Structure 1
Amino acid sequence: MADQSSADFVVIGSGIIGSLTARKLVQAGASVLILEAGPRVTRDEIVARFRNSTRRSDWMSPYPPSAWAPHPIYQPKDNDYLVQAGPYPYPAEYMRIYGGSTWHWAAQAWRHLPNDFKIHSQYGVGVDWPMTYDDLEPFYQEAEEIMGVSGAANTGSPRAKPFPMEPVVDSWAMRRIRERLAGTFEVVANTTARNSRTYDGRPPCCGNNSCQPICPIDAQYNGGVAAASAEAAGVRIMVNANVYKLEHDDKGRIVAALYYDPDKRPHRITGKTFIVAANGIESPRLLLLSASEKFPKGLANSNDMVGRHLMDHPSTSLTFDADEDLWLGRGPQSPSSINTMRDGPFRSQHSPYRLDFTNISRVDGTTKSLISEGVYGVEFEKRLRHSAAREMNLKNVLEVLPHPENRIALSDQKDAMGIPKPQAHYAIDDYTRKGAERSTDDFKRVAELMGGTNLRFSKEGDFANNQHICGTLSMGSDPAVSVCDQWGRTREHENLFLAGTGVLPTSGTCNSTENALAVALRMVRHILAEQGAPKPAA
């Protein structure tokens, strides 16, 4: 197995966080190589797959997994890649492709609230972060300026500078909802990485209503844009390079990454510093796969914390018919929310939450439902029009606390490359369930204010998954219960750093990407200061 290449920094994963971490390093003059397990894809390819899909409501259909870099697929049937150990299912969806999973996101880019960093000291639950909101604030701003983030002024997260741009203009439906709930609920524009004007060479949102699975014009920032910007800056991205092991020397320093190509030929990449920046499932999987005689539990895992504290944001929901035509489906799919329950003393008793309004066209779902009921002809047209015009939906976005028994482990099953599949152990505790129960009062009040009829709550005890995988590589001040320190450095391997949503020690009530990106940008500044930033080539 001959060395194929070497670099100052070897980054595992080409998603938003891996790509933008690599870009910042190469801009400082370092040589950087990204190893991406999946294939190179383009926006044009993804849009074509979406348009040609027979499963338009299946947002994963434009992203088929490759045999050499599989990822979870559940429709039309489960491919059994993520093995479920229970007691509650954790059907995570993500992609292993050039640019990663944010080709396929709602682009919500919320900052945590200041109290989210200290929920243990404030409320006696969870853990405190090894940093404060103020420590992270400038890196939030840096992340937002890179991605092009817009939002309302009243997010609850203090800002030293304004957003890069104003929010995308409200659709008619969201405007009416805001007007009718005023005085009882404050409905605010979601904080999103979506252009309301031309920004960074990308156009403004034109209301395609397909943010998930793909923005067809790149008005919405995504990992493909991030990866392309990294390459333009000088980062080398090697696709179809499925890393299955990290090698170390006698002192525990990482010396090489081993990967398979699509024909299962092994390759070896050397480097000075390694950054694992895959997602919260694939990153702990790689560390566990890298077990050796010196580290029999896997890398960075002498305390058995790798993979533990798996978190997400479960949701319950309410669907109902408003008393006026709203015509959901114009503009972004997730444009507005209610944020009054994100923080407060109640957090000592139950989960906080956001209430998120759905603006997804009702036509496809209603059509399928009516056909399955055997409704045709005039009645079909009448009911379809009614649902398309008046049906609306909102969901809660609930915090999950970090529990060590919620974890990603290695399964005894193997994928097509002969590599053990990841296995999810997951449960939803009473803290989160009590938050869901509390949100039901808000659901009912919103429906009342909208003149709602035909209320359909999600099935009691059923939680939808929001695909905000975090916590499996938790950073912290206590080496006994964390995997890395506040800079992402693993304690047993001085040149191995972790980046991505897995390092987040708590989940809060907002999507994990911007928070993880801000942490990663802070990590890069520390690494460069510690190592002495290489001088850019003349």
Structure 2
Amino acid sequence: MAGRSYDIVIVGSGPVGSAVARTVADEAPDLDVLLVEAGPALSDPPGRHVRTLPNVEDIARAQMLAQAGRVSQPPQEGRIAARPGTYLIGDGVVDSDDTGMPAAAMSTNVGGMGAHWTGSCPVPGEGERIPWIPRYEFDTVWADACGLLRVTQSAFDGWPLGAEVRSALSAVFDEGRAPDRRVQPMPLAIEIGRSCERYWTGIDVILGDVIERGAVELRAETLVTRITLENDEVTGVMIRDRRGEEEYIPARAVFVAADSFRTPRLLHVSGVRPPALGRYLNDHLQVMALARLDDRLIPAAARTRHSRTAGTLELFSGVNWIPYDRERFPFHGQIMQMDASPVPIDGLDEPWPGSIVGIGLFGCKDIAAEDRVAFDDAAPDETGLPGLTIRYRLTDTDRATIDAMKKAAADIAVALGGPVGGEEPTVLPNGNSLHYMGTVRMGLVNDGTSVSDRLGRVWDVNGLFVGGNGVIPTPTACNPTAMSVALAIRSARRAIEDLRGATPCTKEESVAT
């Protein structure tokens, strides 16, 4: 059965898919837009970040829905437990030889990971930027992306420890850096209310009122099972709703932003299989540590201003940032002030509010075509689509990067006062950052090493776009969400041009396009 036709169908309602929908709705209101999401809405109105829900019961319910009904299991020796709101792709078994991606996880809900993310939006530095996108062009769409995400660096102004932490870090890490790459507050996707309440950005913020005013139609609990093609041109999609009923939706263009695993899978089942599809998979190397602030960094106001209930924990009393610097600090650092510990730390039952600081470092993966997600047509998952198998290995270069990150994390802990309990930094298992990239990567020419052109158009298929972290082709250390949204805005604008009659993608796309 054929349903209503649309100008563009967007697959996946996360930050990227929603940014595409918002861009098309705002800049081409004459076009009909359908936004399709396999998972359920977690809130009413749909798309709120779970952290903004009114009580713990609502949050727990939303996280269970996002986990597709899977009950979270406690961690076991040698196995990884999924974070609330996500579920593991594999069995979570950690191998001693650094193979596989045991912590790889996903969520299935309206808003995608945008309902669960930390909101960190660091600006990529030299070496992280895509070299063939002109700086002025990227900076323009970066500003647009930060506007959609409501990015600010003033979310925790006034917190009495923020300046002291930055001062201590600056003394160690700022020398020789450009002014915009010195230690500073983390850019965060968050809004501050009149009563200083913090509202983390979900897709409700990104979409604005486009659903209410009918500019975009959202269909939740609807799985896109195939993109339909005729003579290498998109004609629409096949969908299946939660009742199991299937429908053909005609469309002039399809934009797939499902995630770095499900986007290449949908192309695979649709018969779109360029050589690079699913390859070049990479995730950030990740090291964590805890530090206790030196007493000299804790002003009297911090000891008296904030009261707390014993045993409670607020994870985001403030977030500072050590930016990536290719020559001096080729990592991305998040320094997160924790108001209190939920358990006694280092012999003290009640540390001063804010005196325990979490240190998170992200490093660049040594990217290889052999690291990939593969699709098993003979072993479908619960959706009926091919099962996912991840093939992934750390290289000697990666291990050297991790050693350097451990040293850097230890240096940060010393700069702030010292490691909690004398513990060394911890290396987190592959896949833990949830920042999966590369599987539908962009490229300049159709030479078999990329899936899409520099504007996200899939090679050799007219009307088919891809977006999300999977299009990022460069090794990066910074959180990729804002970068992916910026790239998606570029792609959405090109989709509008194509739908209005501009020259479509050809087999030999050149730099000039």
1:528 to 493, 496, 502: 496
Cross-structure match for 2:184: 188
SS at match of 2:402: helix
Once the two structures are superposed, residues 168-210 of structure 1 have per-residue CA deviations (whole angstroms, 9 ceiling, x without a partner) of 41523333322333422343111122225x6xxxx67536xxx
1:13-412 matches, within 5 Å, as 13-27=12-26, 28=28, 29-42=30-43, 46=50, 51-52=56-57, 60=63, 63-65=66-68, 74=82, 81-82=89-90, 87-117=99-129, 129-151=131-153, 166=154, 168-186=156-174, 187-196=183-192, 206=197, 219-227=199-207, 229-232=209-212, 234-249=215-230, 251-291=231-271, 299=272, 301-303=273-275, 305-324=276-295, 332=316, 335-339=319-323, 341-344=324-327, 352-364=330-342, 366=343, 383-386=348-351, 390-411=355-376, 412=378
Aligned residue-pair number? 458
Preserved contact between residue 260 and residue 437 of structure 2 (Cα < 8 Å): yes
Once the two structures are superposed, residues 417-472 of structure 1 have per-residue CA deviations (whole angstroms, 9 ceiling, x without a partner) of 33223222222233333222223333333333333252212446856721112111
Preserved contact between residue 119 and residue 190 of structure 2 (Cα < 8 Å): yes
Bigger mean CA offset, 492-501 vs 221-230: 221-230
How big is the shift at 1:54? 11
- For the residues of structure 1 that align with 2:92 and 2:390, how far apart are their CA atoms? 5
Once the two structures are superposed, residues 46-100 of structure 1 have per-residue CA deviations (whole angstroms, 9 ceiling, x without a partner) of 46696138989xx955733158xxxx97369996644679723242333221122
Cross-structure match for 1:456: 423
SS at match of 2:212: helix
Structure 2 CA distance for partners of 1:473 and 1:252, relative to 1, 3 Å: same
- For the residues of structure 2 that align with 1:530 and 1:32, how far apart are their CA atoms? 15
How big is the shift at 1:283? 0.6
How big is the shift at 1:317? 1.8
Preserved contact between residue 339 and residue 354 of structure 2 (Cα < 8 Å): no
How big is the shift at 1:487? 1.1
How big is the shift at 1:490? 1.0
How big is the shift at 1:104? 1.0
Preserved contact between residue 4 and residue 268 of structure 1 (Cα < 8 Å): yes
- For the residues of structure 1 that align with 2:87 and 2:184, how far apart are their CA atoms? 39
Letter in structure 1 aligned against 2:24: L
Structure 2 CA distance for partners of 1:458 and 1:275, relative to 1, 3 Å: same
Preserved contact between residue 342 and residue 509 of structure 1 (Cα < 8 Å): no
- For the residues of structure 1 that align with 2:402 and 2:367, how far apart are their CA atoms? 17
1:403-482 matches, within 5 Å, as 403-411=368-376, 412-453=378-419, 454-459=421-426, 462=429, 465-479=432-446, 480-482=448-450
SS at match of 2:172: coil
Preserved contact between residue 37 and residue 110 of structure 2 (Cα < 8 Å): yes
Preserved contact between residue 247 and residue 255 of structure 1 (Cα < 8 Å): yes
Structure 2 CA distance for partners of 1:384 and 1:518, relative to 1, 3 Å: same
- For the residues of structure 1 that align with 2:262 and 2:110, how far apart are their CA atoms? 15
Once the two structures are superposed, residues 254-300 of structure 1 have per-residue CA deviations (whole angstroms, 9 ceiling, x without a partner) of 22211221122222111111111111111111112223xxxxxxx1x
Bigger mean CA offset, 305-314 vs 221-230: 221-230
- For the residues of structure 2 that align with 1:508 and 1:460, how far apart are their CA atoms? 18
Once the two structures are superposed, residues 328-351 of structure 1 have per-residue CA deviations (whole angstroms, 9 ceiling, x without a partner) of 966836610222x5322x7xxxx9
How big is the shift at 1:10? 0.9
SS at match of 2:3: strand
Cross-structure match for 1:504: 472
Structure 2 CA distance for partners of 1:437 and 1:224, relative to 1, 3 Å: same
**2:458 is aligned with 1:515:** no
- For the residues of structure 1 that align with 2:380 and 2:81, how far apart are their CA atoms? 16
Once the two structures are superposed, residues 337-379 of structure 1 have per-residue CA deviations (whole angstroms, 9 ceiling, x without a partner) of 222x5322x7xxxx92022112344433x26x99xxxxxxxxx
Preserved contact between residue 340 and residue 350 of structure 2 (Cα < 8 Å): no
Letter in structure 1 aligned against 2:443: G
Structure 2 CA distance for partners of 1:225 and 1:79, relative to 1, 3 Å: closer
Letter in structure 2 aligned against 1:258: M
Preserved contact between residue 470 and residue 507 of structure 1 (Cα < 8 Å): no
Q: TM-score, normalised by structure 1?
A: 0.76
Letter in structure 2 aligned against 1:457: E
Letter in structure 1 aligned against 2:424: F
How big is the shift at 1:236? 0.6
Percent identity, please: 20
Bigger mean CA offset, 47-56 vs 481-490: 47-56
SS at match of 2:289: strand
- For the residues of structure 1 that align with 2:350 and 2:415, how far apart are their CA atoms? 22
Structure 2 CA distance for partners of 1:242 and 1:55, relative to 1, 3 Å: closer
Q: TM-score, normalised by structure 2?
A: 0.79
Letter in structure 2 aligned against 1:273: A
- For the residues of structure 2 that align with 1:131 and 1:244, how far apart are their CA atoms? 33
Letter in structure 1 aligned against 2:403: E
SS at match of 1:244: strand
SS at match of 1:195: strand
What residue ranges of structure 1 are gaps of 5+ in the alignment?
119-128, 152-165, 208-218, 292-298, 371-381
How big is the shift at 1:43? 6.4
What residue ranges of structure 2 are gaps of 5+ in the alignment?
71-79, 175-182, 307-312, 503-513
